[in-house]
Copies of this chain bind each other. A is one copy, B any other.
Amino acid sequence: MALAAVAKKKPENVAADRLRSLVERIERLDEERKALGNDIRDIYAEAKSAGFDVKVLRQLIRIRKQEPAEVEEQESLLDVYRRALGM
């Protein structure tokens, strides 16, 4: 948009343009994010048809995000809790 056109705009129009631009940027990124979510779901489906257990795969990915020390601590705690319940 030419500067002259911007200068002629009323303040409320400028705010509306700004708002529209923000909303459209958010919506665009949100769609990209949703598409990635679908891609990830597709990979899980692919893993499933290759014979992998999807729940265990999700757990594996969660573990890989954690520090090994944190994983170990949680595993021993889980062990303690299981014993407390006689499991």
Contact = CB atoms under 8 A, between A and B. Distances in A.
Interface of A: 18-19, 22-23, 25-27, 29-30, 32-33, 36-37, 39-40, 43-44, 46-47, 50, 52, 57, 60-61, 64
Contact of A19 (B36, B37, B52): B52
Nearest to A22: B47
The dominant DSSP class at the A interface is helix
A25 B61 CA distance: 11
A36 B32 contact: yes
Tell me how many chains of this kind the complex includes: 2
A50 B23 CA distance: 13
Contacts of A26: 40, 43-44, 57, 61
